Amino acid sequence: MQALTNRVKEVNRKPMSFMEKLYLPAIFKGMAITFSHIFKKKPTIQYPEQKREFSPVFRGLHVLNRDEEGRERCTACGLCAVACPAEAITMEAAERLPGEEHLYREEKYAARYEINMLRCIFCGLCEEACPKDAVYLSETFAPANYTRKGFVYGKEDLLIPNPKTDPQGLAEARGQHI
Amino acid sequence: MTILAFDWALLIEKLVLIAIIVFGSLGIALYTTFAERKVAAILQDRPGPNRAGPFGLLQPFADGLKLIMKEEIIPNTSNKVLFILGPAMAMTAALMTCAVIPWSSHVELFDRKIELQIADINIGILYVFGVVSMGVYGIMIGGWASNNKFSLMAALRGASQAISYELAMGLALIAVLMLSGSLSLKTIVGEQMAQGNLWNIAYQPLGFLIFFVCALAECNRTPFDLPEAENELNFGYHQEYSSMKLGFYLFAEYVNMIMSSAIMACLYFGGYDVPFLDESTLAPNIAALIGVGALLVKIVIFIFIFMWIRWTIPRFRYDQLMNLGWKTMIPLALANMLITGAVILWRAGG
């Protein structure tokens, strides 16, 4: 019969030979294979105790950066939200008041900055879009949560520890993130 | 006053022995479930359960607790009496086998000679076969009482498979009986322990192979686990069961595995015999302890092989199963029996 495609595979329909009918040689061969797996190295990573090493370009959870003096870099320009293909980022801008210069780097800042981690596809376009070096993708991923609301990360979840007031916390976070 | 003349010490001795053996085999069965998961994991390059307790050793208790705490569902179209009888029979039949297995020679305690066997009846192996056949009723009744088509199909498969393979098993056994001339398991083991005699495996390699394959089929183990074929029958004969009734079915399978391992060890691998060791030179109590150890080691090895096979070989198709049983195993067993008989006659004559 003319084959319709060139990917046709002949099926061997010959009756089984005597050796095949014995089943035993094939069974022993299979058992030898499984036995050899006893001595193989197990690729399992014991998760909570052991963590997989990520490559430096891994795109994980976002962090909101501060500058050396501990001021938030974000100016709520909205470029990250525009760049986001999953529309995961929401923000509200506010004006810096006199006396808040130690908190915010520029005259405008993000009063609310939320990323929905269920929407986010971790493409890193927000990181690329940011003109102020404010948003970065770290090397951790979102832990499990009980509610959908729990996956909407606000500013308190995203901001890195203040290098001025909490240098130890920052060092600890650096060990895990960035 | 005749009742007081009864040998009360014997009664107590036997009751203690029964308790030890039944709870012992249940305990081993508990850990066999754990071993199954561990062996499966290791053969598949996984670490297996390792969270409950050190090395996951408390896992079987967690599993058992889970099964007990589950909601007990009895389908309202089922036959309730039979529905409950099914798992009970499966478990009873599985545990009854241990009555005739000689766990070791005798110990001497309190000036008494205590045989480490619940009952040394002279039809021991026949009793085993009778009880094993009862085990089929557990599957059959459970599957039928569930009033579920899949369960019924699975029960039918289980019953026909057990019946087909019991035949070949019995025929393979006859060759052993010809060698030892006794149905008592104690005598069969004693024969193999005697000076100058080798284990039966040396005389009956083919017989052992047939017996082993049939034991796999009798225990519903892969590659003969057709009654539990998830992909064709959803779950098998225990599909409608929940909670501890399901646990009983699953447990009975493991108890069956232990018992058939013990019987294979007794019939073909010298039971509680330690190779190259003359037990009669040791103190009886020490010899008995070593014997128990030897038998347990043999059982563990057999159970490992059962599991090793399970995680290697895929399931047989139903027609292949029947072909293998009726067209290969039975003729082979018959030939084995005839050849054994001929050799025995020839050696007796010559």
- pLDDT digits 0-9 by tens, B42-71: 888 888 888 888 888 898 888 888 888 988
Listed by start position, the domains of chain B span: 24-69, 72-349
Q: DSSP secondary-structure letter at A13?
A: -
pLDDT (0 to 100) of residue A178: 45
The topology (CATH level 3) of A62-176 is Alpha-Beta Plaits (3.30.70)
pLDDT(B149) > 50: yes
pLDDT tens-digit series, residues A78-96: 999 999 999 999 999 999 8
- Contact flag B43-A37 (C-beta cutoff 8 Å): yes
A44 contacts B42? CB cut-off 8 A: no
- Exposed, middle or buried: residue B184 (CB in 10 Å: 0-12, 13-18, 19+)? buried
**pLDDT score recorded for residue A1:** 67
Q: Band of the pLDDT at A32, cuts 50, 70, 90?
A: very high
Percent of chain B with pLDDT over 90: 5
pLDDT of A165 reads 80
- Global pTM reads 0.79
DSSP state of B73: -
Parse chain A into domains and list their residue ranges: 62-176
Q: Which of A104, A118, A119, A107 is nearest to A64 (CA)?
A: A104
Check if the interface score ipTM surpasses 0.90: no
Q: Indicate the residue of B45, B308, B324 with minimum beta-carbon distance to A43.
A: B45
CA A67 to mean position of chain CA atoms = 24
> What is the percentage of chain B residues whose pLDDT exceeds 70?
98
Interface test with A, best of B43, B55, B332 (most A CBs within 10 A): B43
What pLDDT does residue B231 have? 74
C-alpha separations of A77 from A63, A82, A107, B65, B322 in Å? 17, 10, 12, 57, 75
Instruction: Report the sign of the C-alpha dihedral through residues B218, B222, B223, B226, in that order.
Output: positive
Q: Which of A38, A41, A44 has its CB closest to that of B43?
A: A38
Q: So what's the pLDDT on residue A49?
A: 82
Residues of A in contact with B324 (CB under 8 A): 23
Give the chain A residue nearest B41 (alpha carbons). Answer: A38
Taking only the tens place, the pLDDT of each residue in A131-141 is 988 998 888 87
Mean pLDDT, rounded, for A108-112: 90
Nearest to B257 by CA among B7, B43, B36: B36
Beta strands of B15-115 (E only): which ranges?
A: 106-109, 112-115
- Take residue B268 and report the two structure tokens written for it: 């073909």
Contact call for B311 and A34, based on CB within 8 A = yes
